[in-house]
Each structure stands twice: as structure tokens, then as C-alpha cells.
């Protein structure tokens, strides 16, 4: 008898659902904020958060990742602190745990498309509302965003902004 591992089912058991945006340009303005993901119906537990540079920025947009809950106060750097993004297309970066601060994470980025970003993210809850990116500077460039999550409330899910 053949045993075949269903990779989608394995990922679902470990990380939860995956949601991906299209290639989104950096929010324009200075600062400018854009919605990346919308958390619907209730809270979710974010288990991973990645970005993939698809178009190289003209300069460093200096951006942070935050939340804007349906009920409560928005926090533009509530998920991850500022990172410089000036790398080539194909470079991955991720939100990783920072146990010495009160924030869930900091962003870390590979030096080139061939580098892998390492780090562990402690899963964190996000209430119904939006997950945002805020850029300090207006720059060109685009990123695909990836997020995995597990619903905490009945019927809760995450939708992604598409380019």
C-alpha cells in the first residue's frame, strides 16, 4: 500500500490557511498607509508573515507593518518595526520574533534573492480589521505579501488585497 503525503494538508495542520496578495506597490506619500490584508468576522492567529520583492524600489521607503482594528486604535508599527528595503527582485524578508520588546516582531531581509531570511515568529493574534503597511517615503517598487493564519473565532478569515 502506498502512502502519499498531502502537502497542502500538512501545511494546513502546521501553519493554517495561506493568503497571498498580488504585487503591491509601496504606499505612496510620506507617510502613506495601505491595507494588505483584511481580517473578517473575528480574530485570527497569524503564524507566519513574509514579503517577496518583485520590483526593486528606487530608494528606501522605510516601512512598518501594523494593524487597524475594527474596534480600537490603529497601530502602524504594531506588528513589525521599520526595515530598509533596497534589495533586488526575488529577495525574501520576514517578520520574526523579538522577545526583548513588546512588539510581536521585527522584519529581517536577505541580502540577495539567493539568501534565505531566518527567524522564528511567535504566533500572534489579530482582531477583526486590517493589516497595513506604512511607508515613510514615497518610492517605486512592489512586494508580494504572504500570511498564514488559524481562525480563533468561528467564521473568522483573512482576505488579501490584490494588485
Domain ranges of the chain: 30-153
Provide mean pLDDT across the span 40-45. Answer: 96
Q: Which three cell numbers stand for residue 64?
A: 512598518
Dihedral sign, Cα of residue 16, residue 22, residue 25, residue 30: negative
Weakest mean pLDDT among 22-26, 69-73, 76-80, 98-102: 98-102
pLDDT for res 128: 97
pLDDT for res 114: 67
Query: Which has more pLDDT, 24 or 86?
Result: 24
Query: Residues 96-138: pLDDT tens digits?
Result: 777 666 666 667 666 667 666 666 677 889 999 999 988 887 7
DSSP per position, 101-138: SSSSEEEEE-SSTT------PPPEEE-SEEEEEEESS-
Q: Cα torsion at 119, 124, 130, 132 (round to 10°)?
A: -30
pLDDT for res 28: 64
Q: Say whether pLDDT at 37 is over 90.
A: yes
pTM: 0.85
pLDDT confidence tier of residue 61, bands split at 50, 70 and 90:
confident
Amino acid at each position: 500500500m502506498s502512502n502519499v503525503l498531502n502537502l497542502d494538508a500538512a501545511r494546513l495542520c502546521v501553519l493554517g490557511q495561506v493568503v497571498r496578495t498580488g504585487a503591491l506597490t509601496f504606499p505612496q506619500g510620506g507617510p502613506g498607509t495601505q491595507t494588505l490584508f483584511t481580517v473578517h468576522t473575528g480574530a485570527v492567529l497569524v503564524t507566519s508573515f513574509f514579503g517577496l520583492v518583485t520590483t526593486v524600489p528606487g530608494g528606501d521607503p522605510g516601512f512598518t507593518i501594523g494593524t487597524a482594528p475594527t474596534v480600537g486604535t490603529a497601530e502602524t508599527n504594531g506588528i513589525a518595526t521599520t526595515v530598509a528595503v533596497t534589495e533586488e527582485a526575488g529577495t525574501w524578508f520576514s517578520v520574526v520574533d523579538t522577545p526583548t520588546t513588546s512588539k510581536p516582531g521585527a522584519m529581517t531581509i536577505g541580502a540577495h534573492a539567493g539568501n534565505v531570511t531566518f527567524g522564528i515568529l511567535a504566533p500572534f493574534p489579530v482582531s477583526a480589521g486590517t493589516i497595513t503597511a506604512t511607508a515613510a517615503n514615497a518610492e517605486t517598487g512592489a512586494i508580494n505579501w504572504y500570511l498564514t493564519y488559524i481562525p480563533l473565532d468561528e467564521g473568522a478569515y483573512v482576505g488579501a488585497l490584490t494588485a
